[in-house]
């Protein structure tokens, strides 16, 4: 079956827990997707699973970001952090003024658009917008929320910053794996919106950990307590989806301590730049740092409840 008239040639760079299913949704939606990942075996596995879809989409493995970006109308990136994004776009040892041949930006045609789904700094987003504009390429910073489960289900929330025209070009592609897409403002606004999101998550995690530890110390049956409070004003996604596992001391899943700590570090940096006060975020960041020192780096961020239990039992 051939792809529909709405089919686009896309690049997807970064096949981690989020990117792997996101790129697959693009193929399912009928797009032709050229992928790159630093781990070759993962690229080959993804390409074998997504060689062709019933909707006419196709998946192709590529050896470099530049090869993936060649001929692509939209280049989507979902990697670890600022330096990873720079390496993908500028190439090894490259810079905005010295693009290397292996970088995606050197291979992109005029009028194409970069969409960066990485949770990164707002400063990076503004830098990339200028670098892309210099070669007549559009840019949208578009961090995501919803976790691996949201990526697998195609139900992500996407917070965007950039020019309206670039956003309009990218939105039909992003629709393939999103339930909500919002253009918040100019370049950088997507990243600062993600910081707002993470501040809210940090508060919910910290509150859940403190409340559960308090209830335990009071001798309450916390599973019954959760039934009593989750349907009222105190309810939250974290209480509904992580409350029982926090009570059971189960954390081998979810959004890792290291990733949440990284995100809150970005909040700390931006807050310092703005002169904003974020004491709750700083407190949660401190608990996450303690969890890292305890070796809980890959555990779900709600593992900070253990720090409360340690304080109680010491």
Q: 12-31: per-residue pLDDT in tens?
A: 999 999 999 999 999 999 99
The alpha carbon of residue 305 and the mean position of all alpha carbons in its chain are separated, in whole angstroms, by 24
State the chain's mean pLDDT as an integer: 96
Is the pLDDT at 145 greater than 80? The verdict is yes
Length in residues, the chain: 314
Structure tokens at 22: 């996101």
- How many Å apart are CA 179 and CA 174, to the nearest integer? 9
The helix/strand/coil state of 265 is helix
The helix/strand/coil state of 164 is helix
Tokens 């307590």, residue located = 225
Domains of the chain: 9-185 (3.40.50.720), 193-313 (1.10.1040.10)
Contacts of 313 (CB under 8 A, 6+ apart): none
Contacts made by residues 146-150, CB under 8 angstroms, sequence distance 24+: 146/179, 147/18, 147/254, 147/255, 148/17, 148/18, 148/21, 150/179
183-220 pLDDT, tens digit per residue, is 999 999 999 999 999 999 999 999 999 999 999 999 99
- How many Å apart are CA 230 and CA 3, to the nearest integer? 46
68-110 pLDDT, tens digit per residue, is 999 999 999 999 999 999 999 999 999 999 999 999 999 999 9
User: Which residues are tagged catalytic?
Assistant: 194
Q: DSSP letters along 82-140, please?
A: HHHHHHHHH-TT-BTTB--TTSHHHHPPTT-EEEE-S---HHHHHHHHHHHHHTT-EEE
Pair 280, 200: CB distance under 8 Å: no
Is the pLDDT at 247 greater than 50? The verdict is yes
Q: DSSP letters along 178-233, please?
A: EEEEEEEESTTHHHHHHHHHHHHHHHHHHHHHHHHHHHHHTT--HHHHHHHHTTST
Structure tokens at 283: 């407190």
Please tell me the predicted confidence (pLDDT) of residue 313.
Answer: 86
């Amino acid at each position: 079956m051939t792809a529909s008239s709405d089919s686009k040639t896309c690049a997807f760079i970064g096949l981690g827990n989020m990117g792997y299913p996101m790129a697959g949704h693009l193929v399912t939606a009928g797009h032709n997707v050229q992928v790159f990942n630093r781990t070759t075996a993962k690229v080959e596995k993804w390409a074998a699973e997504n060689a062709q879809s019933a909707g006419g989409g196709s998946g192709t493995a590529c050896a470099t970001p530049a090869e993936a970006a060649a001929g692509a109308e939209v280049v989507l990136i979902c990697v670890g952090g600022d330096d990873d994004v720079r390496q993908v776009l500028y190439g090894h040892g490259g810079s905005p003024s010295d693009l290397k041949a292996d970088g995606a930006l050197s291979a992109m045609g005029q009028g194409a658009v970069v969409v960066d789904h990485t949770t990164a700094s707002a400063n990076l987003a503004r830098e990339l917008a200028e670098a892309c504009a210099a070669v007549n390429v559009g840019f949208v910073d578009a961090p995501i929320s919803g976790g691996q489960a949201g990526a697998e289900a195609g139900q992500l929330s996407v917070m965007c910053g950039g020019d309206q025209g670039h956003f309009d070009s990218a939105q039909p592609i992003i629709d393939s794996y999103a339930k909500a897409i919002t253009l918040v403002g100019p370049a950088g606004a997507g990243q600062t919106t993600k910081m707002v999101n993470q501040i809210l998550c940090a508060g919910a995690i910290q509150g859940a950990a403190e409340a559960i530890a308090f209830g335990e110390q009071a001798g309450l049956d916390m599973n019954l307590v959760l039934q009593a409070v989750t349907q009222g004003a105190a309810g939250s996604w974290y209480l509904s989806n992580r409350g029982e596992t926090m009570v059971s001391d189960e954390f081998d899943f979810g959004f890792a301590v290291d990733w949440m700590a990284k995100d809150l570090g970005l909040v700390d940096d931006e807050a310092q730049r703005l002169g904003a006060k974020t004491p709750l975020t700083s407190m949660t960041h401190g608990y996450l740092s303690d969890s890292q020192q305890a070796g809980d780096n890959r555990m779900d961020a709600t593992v900070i409840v253990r720090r409360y239990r340690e304080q109680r039992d010491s």
